[in-house]
Amino acid sequence: MIFKSTRGGGAAVSFKSAVFEGLASDGGLYHPTSIPNLNKLFLSLTSSSDYNQIAEEVTFHLLSPEIDRETARRIVSASYDFSPHLQRIDDSLFVLELFHGPSYAFKDFGACFLASCMEEFLSGDKRDAVILVATSGDTGSAVARAFLGKKNIHVVILYPSGRVSMLQEKQLTTLDKNISTLEVKGSFDDCQKMVKQAFTDTELNRKLMLTSANSINLGRLIPQSFYYIHAYAQLAAELDDGLVFCVPSGNFGNLTAGVYAWQWGLPVKRFIAATNKNDVVPQYLQSGIYETRASIRTLSNAMDVGNPSNMERLRAVFNSDWAKMAAMLQGEVITDEETTETIKGVWNRSALIIDPHTAVGYLAATRFRNRNDLPGAKIVIIATAHPAKFRETVREATGQQPELPAGLQEALDLPKKSTVVENTLQDLKDFILARFA
Ligand SMILES: *Cc1c(COP(=O)(O)O)cnc(C)c1O
């Protein structure tokens, strides 16, 4: 498999190049140039197929000869000491919990694989890589945890001082080893600007190998297909009337990975694109008109995106054909009031505590089922975050205080370690050059 920009510029590149470059040179996103057929492999899977086994098999089939079987096995086993948990709600509704990894959010599945790939690719190189990440809270901790202890890689995380939650700050600032955290006197936009400037700075790029690990990276997207395939395998024996995935979405990386798996031959009937009031994609699916907007704040804030970056990849999958996309993707829009009511209702009916992002998916799936478009289909709702990460919202909705998992409690108990800097490129450069050049 080789990859080309969604905007058509530049040459096709290897997986390794796509991973280290992140964004293509023309500003587009890397996207596979061909569609492999893995249908036979998928149909051979059963409920006893192990997650890492599936991940290894799919990695090998997609990326060999660039990645041979031995390397695929090494990357996968270095990535995952956690796996998805599929919970049955009733005959046709399931929740796929993807929040049992190191940062308690689904982004761990992509970030850990990317980190292991980079470590593997750098093991023959002489130079270390420096990864720069600007975060408004959540993404940073998945990346930091994924890269913790990886050889030949240093990670520098920038976050806006005083503008992330206490739990998020602790998750970002209590790691050590190869992770440094800069507390920037400024906004998230300042952090992002500093990182962007660093990537184009001549001196830094001469002295160091700078790279990014953001969510558009193919090394994060490809592995997100594995949990769709694993969920299919778990349910394969009972799928007489088809399988539907419901994906709470913001930048649409999660949903795109599922659509890739379908394109490679996974038997999926429909995807539900569930959003909060940042609903440009559901609007497009309904009307055929795509209008990006500034984002608005909601309770499911990791999905507050007004211009979803992976729309470029989704369009590429469907050859920019609206009718084809609308036939496969069903949009659903959920308000904050409905989100809170859903958290409460699910707690009362099923004694299950869900976070606000998962609640958006839950209500969207329920609506889809009630319309009876695909009678008898099994619907799998992707649960993207541990409810303890959104304690306030969950407590207000249910009266329950979700129990903190051990890893989060541990982070809360550790002392914060960060370096306070001004919001200038020079401050960032001084820090990086003093340490890594
Ligand atoms: C990032 C995130 C999402 C949105 O995922 P996309 O791939 O950007 O669509 C949903 N829920 C949580 C908890 C997230 O962190």
Full pLDDT tens readout for the chain, 437 residues = 999 999 999 999 999 999 999 989 898 999 999 999 999 999 999 999 999 999 999 999 999 999 999 999 999 999 999 999 999 999 999 999 999 999 999 999 999 999 999 999 999 787 889 999 999 877 899 999 999 999 999 999 999 999 888 888 999 999 989 999 999 999 888 998 999 899 989 999 999 999 989 889 999 999 999 999 999 999 999 999 999 999 999 999 999 999 999 999 999 999 999 999 999 999 999 999 999 999 899 999 999 999 999 999 999 999 999 999 999 999 999 999 999 999 999 999 999 999 999 999 999 999 999 999 999 999 999 999 999 999 999 999 999 989 899 999 999 999 999 999 999 999 999 999 999 98
Whole-angstrom distance, CA of residue 326 vs CA of residue 287: 10
- Secondary structure class of 131 (helix, strand, coil): strand
Nearest CA to ligand 1 atom 15: 302
Whole-angstrom distance, CA of residue 57 vs CA of residue 319: 28
Closest by CA to 276, choosing from 307, 242, 302, 255, is: 302
Say if residue 395 is exposed, middle or buried (CB neighbours under 10 Å; 0-12, 13-18, 19+). Answer: middle
Q: Tell me, what's the pLDDT at 42?
A: 98
- Those residues whose C-beta lies under 8 Å from the C-beta of residue 380, and which sit 6 or more positions away, are 86, 94, 95, 96, 231, 235, 243, 244, 245, 246
251 CB near ligand 1 (under 6 Å): yes
Catalytic member of 4, 107, 150, 378: 107
Q: Tell me, what's the pLDDT at 113?
A: 98
Helices (H), 106-224: 107-122, 138-147, 166-173, 188-199, 202-207, 218-221
User: Taking the model in full, what pTM does it have?
Assistant: 0.95
| Residue 288 host element (H or E) | none
Q: Tell me, what's the pLDDT at 6?
A: 96
Amino acid 230 reads H
CB 383 within 8 A of CB 402: no
What are the b/e assignments for 321-356, b being 16+ CB within 10 Å? eeeebbebbbbbbbebebbbebbbbbbeeeebbbbb
Helices (H), 174-279: 188-199, 202-207, 218-221, 226-235, 253-263
Q: Tell me, what's the pLDDT at 163?
A: 86
- Residue 78 phi/psi, 5° resolution? -75, -15
- In angstroms, what is the span from residue 217 Cα to ligand 1's centroid? 14
- In angstroms, what is the span from residue 252 Cα to ligand 1's centroid? 8
Q: 107 catalytic, yes or no?
A: yes
Best of 95, 97, 99, 107 for a ligand 1 pocket test (most atoms within 8 Å of beta carbon): 107
Whole-angstrom distance, CA of residue 130 vs CA of residue 433: 11
253 CB near ligand 1 (under 6 Å): yes
| Residues, the chain | 437
